[in-house]
Structure 1
Amino acid sequence: MQIIVKKIWHRDADRIGLFFKHDSATISQLKQLKGMYSQSLRCWYFDYNLENYKLINQTFNDLVIDNPKETKTQPLAGLTISRDLPAIAKSELQLDSAPVLHNPEHITNTNSLAPNMRLELLPNLGKYWVFKMQYYQHISKQLLATKGVYWNANYKVYMALRHENVQKLVEKILDTPAFFPENDYYKNETIFQGESIVLKPHLEDLKWMEVYMPPYLVLREKIKRFSMARYSTIKDCYLLPAAPTVYDAMTMQFEPHKILINNRLPKGYLLKQNLPNRKQLDLRKTKEQLFNQVPDGAHEYITLMVDTILALNYSSSTMRTYTSSFLKFLRDHQFRDPHTITQKEIVKYLASLMERGLSASSGHSMVNALLFYYQQIEHQKGFELKLPRPKTEKKLPAVLTMEECLQLFRAVDNPKHKLLLLIGYGAGLRVSEIVTLEWRDILFTEHKIHIKNAKGKKDRMVMLPYSIVNSLELYKKLYEPNKYVFEGQFAGEPYSTGSARSVMRQALKKSGLEKRATVHTLRHSFATHLLESGTDIRYIQKFLGHASIKTTTIYTHVSKMASDKILSPLDRLVDENNKKKLSD
C-alpha cells in the first residue's frame, strides 16, 4: 500500500498528512497510532513533529514524500518538508510603502500556496462538489477557466462537477491530492423518475413556503441540510423561506435525482426580502436554545417573558441573559407560579445566592431579570428590590502595548483577518460592531466610520485610520463583498462574532505573545494608547460610545503616562539613604 506523505495546514497548525486509497488494514494501524482523519482534506494526519514522523516511518514501508523542497527547509529524520508558510502574496494585496508603525502589514514571498489556502470541502449540492478556500487571484482564475467549475456568488463557494476529469484538474490546481472523495460521481445518484416535490404557500406566515417531500430517506436527508429548514408535524412538511435563492438551491440539489419540482406557489410569492436577516435568525436561534431548557411547568412564564422582550425590541443577548436568570429562579422555586412568590422570599433567595458565592455580574443579571418580570409582565408597579446591589469587582482591563499590537498584526497572513483586527484596534470597535460593519458606513472621503445601532441602540462616529484606507479599497476589489465589509460563509450574511474571536486567538498563538487577550482587548488598547498620547478623555468617551465618563476613566488606571513617573516611597527612602552615605 503506497502512502503519500505531505506537509499540510489543518486546524490552524502544520500537520503530517497521509494520503492513500481506502484500505481497512492501513486505517486500523493509523487508529492504533492515534492518528486523526480530516473530512475536509480527505486524509489522515498527525501533529507535525519528529516523534510522529519516526512512528510513521517505523510502521509503514512504502512511503512517498510529496515534492520535497531543496531550499528553506528543515530536515526531519529523512523527511524534508517545507517550513515556509505563505502569507499575503504581493499580487493579492498591494500594500503601501508607509512606515511599519503606520501600516503594520508585511509581504512574504512564497512558491506553494496549498498549505495556507484554508481549503474546506462542504456537503455536496446535487451533482456538484462544493468547497471554499482563502482567495488567491491566480488560483481562482485557473479554477474558473476549468470546464465544470464555477463560482456560486450567492453562497461564496466554488462548485465543481462531480466528474473524474474535473476531479483530476481541480486537485492539480489546488495542489492537494485526494481532496475529493474517490468515486463520488454524480452518475451514482439514485433516480426518482416520476416523483415530485410539491411547494405550497404557508398561509399562517407568507414569508415561508411548505415543502412536501416523497417518503424517501435520501431526499428527506437532503432537505434537512438547508440551514433554515423547519419541520411541521401538523402538516407533515418542511418549511423553508419563500425566497428565490432558496428555490434555486432546491432545484440544483434535486436535479441529479430527476425529480420534478411541482411549484404551486402564487405568482410573485417568492421574494428576496423573505430570507430572514441576521437579527431574525439570531433571535430565533436564541429562542429555540432557551425553550429547549424549559420544562412544561415553566413554559407559560418563559413564553410571556420572551414575547415581552421581543415586543420591546431588546437584543438577543438581553433575551438570553434575562430569561436564563429567570429560569434559574423558577427552577430553584420548583417552578411555582411567580405571582405566589412573595417579595420577602425573593430577598431571602438573593441573599442565599450571594452567600453561595455568586459573582457580582450574575447577581446583577438576576436582580434585573426579576425586576423586569414583576414590573413589565406582572405589572406590579410598586415592585422594588430594596437591597444593596451586589458590589461589582473592579477589574482592570487587559491592554497590549503598541509593540505587542504590531507583533500581533504581523503574525496574521490572511488579508481579511488582518483588516478585521486592524479596524478593531484602529477605531476601537466592539467585536459585534466589527462584524456588522457595512461598506456604506465607511466614509472614505471624511476618513470616518459611522457605527449604527450599537450597544444601547446608539449611533456614533469614529475615526477611519489613514493607514488602512488603501488596503481596505484593494480588499474590496479582491473579495467583492456586497453589503458587509466582512462577509460570512453565505452572501448577505456578516462574519460571526465566534469566527472573529477565533481569528484573534490564532493570531495571538502565532505571534507568541504570553498575554491573555481577546478582540475586546484591542478596544481597551485603543483607548489606553489615545490617553497616553494626550487625547482628552471626553473625546475618548465619544469614540468608545460610553454613556458615562466614569466608564472611560478606568483607562486612567492602566495608562503608563502618569503612573510611570510616580516613585515608590521605598525607592525614595533608599535614594535618600544612599545620598547620606555618599555625603558621610
Structure 2
Amino acid sequence: MASHVYTPSNSKSYYLRVTIDRKEYRESLRTTSKRVAEKKARERIKDLRGKAERGETDWLFHAGFTVFYESLDQPDEDHGWSDRTRTRYQTSLRQIGVTLMEIFEERGEDIQLVGAWEIGLAEVTEFVALRKDAGVSVATINRDLTAFTHLMAYIKNKKWIEVNPVQLFEKQGMRERLPQIVLPTQEAIARLSERAPGTLTFFPSFLEETGGRITEMAMIKWSDLSGMDRPVEGNVTLTLLNTKGGKVRTITLRQQAIDILLQIPRSNRSPFVFWNKTEDGYYRAAANIFWDYAQEVDFGARMHDLRHKFAIERLKEGWSVYRVQRYIGHGSVKTTERYYFRYLSQEQQEVANADGNVGL
C-alpha cells in the first residue's frame, strides 16, 4: 500500500496514486499523517475497485489533466503532433491549470478534488474572461482553447464526460453565468464560531472582517502584524505571506478585525495567531475542519462565502472596486467587478467605479 501513497514536491499532504483497470487516479488524501493516509488509501482503493466492477465512474479532472499533459512529453502516432505543437499545447495547459485553479479557489474549492464533469460551459467561459482580464491577446486565447478542446476531447473519449464543454463555448460564445453567492447570516456565523474549538472560535468572524482566504489566514503569525502596540484602525497592518501564487500583500485592518485579535489568547509555544497544541502549531486543515462543522450547525453557506460577504459589504459602503480588489487579492479589478457588481445597485456601481482612492 505504501507505493500508492506519496507527497508531491509542492505539498505536505499525502496523495493517492493508483491504477485500476488501466485508469489512473491521483487525488489528495487531505492529511499530513502517513498512517491516516494509508488507511484512507485502502478505503479509497476498495471503493474505486467496487465502482469499476459495477461499471460506475468516479473520475477527477485533475487525473485526466495530468495523464493528458504527460502524454505530450513523447510523440504519439494517434495524434501525430509535432514536437513544437506538443510543447505549445503544454504551455497552454499550464495556463489552463492555473486559471481553473483560480476559478475554483474563488469558489472555495480545490481543483484537485473537482470531477471531470464539473468542468462545464460556465468554467470555460470564465476561463476566457479571466484571460481577457489579464490582457492576453485573442490569438493566445484561441491557442489555449485549442489545447483545452483536445484535453476535454481526451477526457470525453475515456467516457468520463458526455459533452466537450469547449466545443459548446465555441458554438455559443461569451454568455457568462457565475454561480450565485450565498451570504451567511450573523446567526449562522455565531453558530459556527460556537462550534469551533480553541482559537478557531474567532476564525469565522476574522474572515468576515478581512475578506481573507481560509488558508492564508489560518497561517498568519503575530509577527505578521504591525502596530498592535496601538490597536486602532489605521495603525495596524497585516502582511499575508502564504497567499495564492505567493504574492505577498499587506492590508490595513479595520477596527472590527483588530478587536477580534485583542480577544485571542497568545501561546508561549506557537507563533501563530490561530494556534493549537499540535506539532505544527496551527490548524493545517482548517478548511476541512470547518466544512464538517458547517454541516453540523446548518451554516447554510461555505466558509469562502465570508470572503464574498466582506467584499460586497465594503462595496456597498462606498469602497472603490480598486481598493476591494487590492485588499482581497484578486489578480484583476475586472474579476472583482464580475463577481460582485451584480449584487450592487446602479448607484453603488457608479460610486465603486468613481475613483481608485475612494474609501482610502
TM-superposed deviation, 1:325: 3.3
Give runs of aligned pairs for residues 93-242 of structure 1, distance below 5 A: none
TM-superposed deviation, 1:480: 4.2
**For residues 386 and 466 of structure 1, do their structure 2 counterparts lie closer, same or farther at Cα, with a shift above 3 Å needed?**
closer
**For residues 503 and 231 of structure 1, do their structure 2 counterparts lie closer, same or farther at Cα, with a shift above 3 Å needed?**
closer
Is contact 2:212-2:328 (8 Å) kept?
yes
Q: Does residue 1:324 correspond to 2:63, yes or no?
A: yes
**For residues 421 and 411 of structure 1, do their structure 2 counterparts lie closer, same or farther at Cα, with a shift above 3 Å needed?**
closer
Q: Which structure has the larger Rg?
A: 1
Structure 1 equivalent of residue 189 of structure 2 = 408
**For residues 542 and 280 of structure 1, do their structure 2 counterparts lie closer, same or farther at Cα, with a shift above 3 Å needed?**
same
Is contact 1:501-1:518 (8 Å) kept?
no
Runs of 4 or more, structure 1, over 4 Å off, are 278-281, 293-298, 344-347, 360-364, 560-564
Is contact 1:436-1:494 (8 Å) kept?
yes
Is contact 1:447-1:463 (8 Å) kept?
yes
Q: Does residue 1:506 correspond to 2:267, yes or no?
A: no
TM-superposed deviation, 1:522: 0.2
Q: What's the Cα RMSD here?
A: 4.8
**For residues 561 and 433 of structure 1, do their structure 2 counterparts lie closer, same or farther at Cα, with a shift above 3 Å needed?**
farther
Measure the CA separation in 1 of the matches of 2:276 and 2:223: 17
User: Larger deviation: 446-455 or 522-531?
Assistant: 446-455
TM-superposed deviation, 1:387: 3.0
SS at match of 1:450: strand
One-letter identity of the residue aligned with 1:469: I
2:215 to 429, 432, 436: 432
Give runs of aligned pairs for residues 17-166 of structure 1, distance below 5 A: none
SS at match of 2:274: coil
Q: Does residue 1:467 correspond to 2:251, yes or no?
A: no
1:420 to 203, 222, 233: 203
Measure the CA separation in 2 of the matches of 1:522 and 1:336: 40
Unaligned runs of 5+ in 1: 1-229, 233-277, 303-320, 351-355, 368-383, 565-584
Structure 1 equivalent of residue 146 of structure 2 = 387
One-letter identity of the residue aligned with 1:461: T
Q: Does residue 1:447 correspond to 2:236, yes or no?
A: yes
**Which deviations, in whole Å up to 9, do the C-alpha atoms of 1:249-292 show, x marking residues without a partner?**
xxxxxxxxxxxxxxxxxxxxxxxxxxxxx996834624xx2x43
One-letter identity of the residue aligned with 1:537: V
SS at match of 1:540: helix
Structure 2 equivalent of residue 292 of structure 1 = 18
Measure the CA separation in 1 of the matches of 2:255 and 2:293: 26
TM-score normalised to the size of structure 1? 0.33
One-letter identity of the residue aligned with 1:339: P
Is contact 1:482-1:491 (8 Å) kept?
no
TM-superposed deviation, 1:484: 2.0
Fraction of identical pairs, as percent: 19
One-letter identity of the residue aligned with 2:322: R
SS at match of 1:412: helix
Measure the CA separation in 2 of the matches of 1:495 and 1:336: 39
**For residues 487 and 282 of structure 1, do their structure 2 counterparts lie closer, same or farther at Cα, with a shift above 3 Å needed?**
farther
Q: Does residue 1:398 correspond to 2:181, yes or no?
A: yes
TM-superposed deviation, 1:457: 1.7
Structure 1 equivalent of residue 161 of structure 2 = none
Measure the CA separation in 2 of the matches of 1:488 and 1:439: 14
Give runs of aligned pairs for residues 256-335 of structure 1, distance below 5 A: 282-283=11-12, 285-286=14-15, 289=16, 291-293=17-19, 324-329=63-68
TM-superposed deviation, 1:398: 1.2
Is contact 1:438-1:483 (8 Å) kept?
yes
Is contact 1:398-1:521 (8 Å) kept?
yes
Measure the CA separation in 2 of the matches of 1:539 and 1:465: 13
**For residues 297 and 397 of structure 1, do their structure 2 counterparts lie closer, same or farther at Cα, with a shift above 3 Å needed?**
closer
Q: Does residue 1:492 correspond to 2:242, yes or no?
A: no
Measure the CA separation in 2 of the matches of 1:337 and 1:432: 33
Aligned length: 235
**Which deviations, in whole Å up to 9, do the C-alpha atoms of 1:484-505 show, x marking residues without a partner?**
22235623343133x4443365
Structure 2 equivalent of residue 339 of structure 1 = 75
Measure the CA separation in 1 of the matches of 2:284 and 2:262: 22
SS at match of 1:556: helix
**Which deviations, in whole Å up to 9, do the C-alpha atoms of 1:394-433 show, x marking residues without a partner?**
21441426xx135522553245233111111111001111
SS at match of 1:557: helix
**Which deviations, in whole Å up to 9, do the C-alpha atoms of 1:454-483 show, x marking residues without a partner?**
112201112334235355344233x54512
Is contact 1:487-1:493 (8 Å) kept?
yes
Measure the CA separation in 2 of the matches of 1:327 and 1:295: 17
**For residues 524 and 323 of structure 1, do their structure 2 counterparts lie closer, same or farther at Cα, with a shift above 3 Å needed?**
closer
One-letter identity of the residue aligned with 1:325: G
**Which deviations, in whole Å up to 9, do the C-alpha atoms of 1:326-352 show, x marking residues without a partner?**
344389xxx7974224349999xx9xx
Structure 1 equivalent of residue 342 of structure 2 = 557
TM-score normalised to the size of structure 2? 0.51
Q: Does residue 1:547 correspond to 2:336, yes or no?
A: no
Is contact 1:528-1:555 (8 Å) kept?
yes
**For residues 470 and 280 of structure 1, do their structure 2 counterparts lie closer, same or farther at Cα, with a shift above 3 Å needed?**
farther
The structure with more helix, counted as a fraction of residues: 2
**Which deviations, in whole Å up to 9, do the C-alpha atoms of 1:536-575 show, x marking residues without a partner?**
11000110111211100021112357589xxxxxxxxxxx
Measure the CA separation in 2 of the matches of 1:407 and 1:468: 19
Is contact 1:442-1:450 (8 Å) kept?
yes
Is contact 1:435-1:494 (8 Å) kept?
yes
Is contact 1:397-1:524 (8 Å) kept?
no
Is contact 2:215-2:287 (8 Å) kept?
no
SS at match of 2:304: helix
Measure the CA separation in 2 of the matches of 1:280 and 1:451: 22
Measure the CA separation in 1 of the matches of 2:217 and 2:251: 12
Measure the CA separation in 1 of the matches of 2:308 and 2:118: 28
Unaligned runs of 5+ in 2: 27-59, 94-116, 129-142, 149-165, 350-360
Measure the CA separation in 1 of the matches of 2:276 and 2:118: 40
One-letter identity of the residue aligned with 1:435: A
**For residues 450 and 386 of structure 1, do their structure 2 counterparts lie closer, same or farther at Cα, with a shift above 3 Å needed?**
closer
The structure with more strand, counted as a fraction of residues: 1
Structure 2 equivalent of residue 578 of structure 1 = none
User: Larger deviation: 454-463 or 419-428?
Assistant: 454-463
Measure the CA separation in 2 of the matches of 1:422 and 1:489: 22
**For residues 409 and 448 of structure 1, do their structure 2 counterparts lie closer, same or farther at Cα, with a shift above 3 Å needed?**
farther
One-letter identity of the residue aligned with 1:329: F
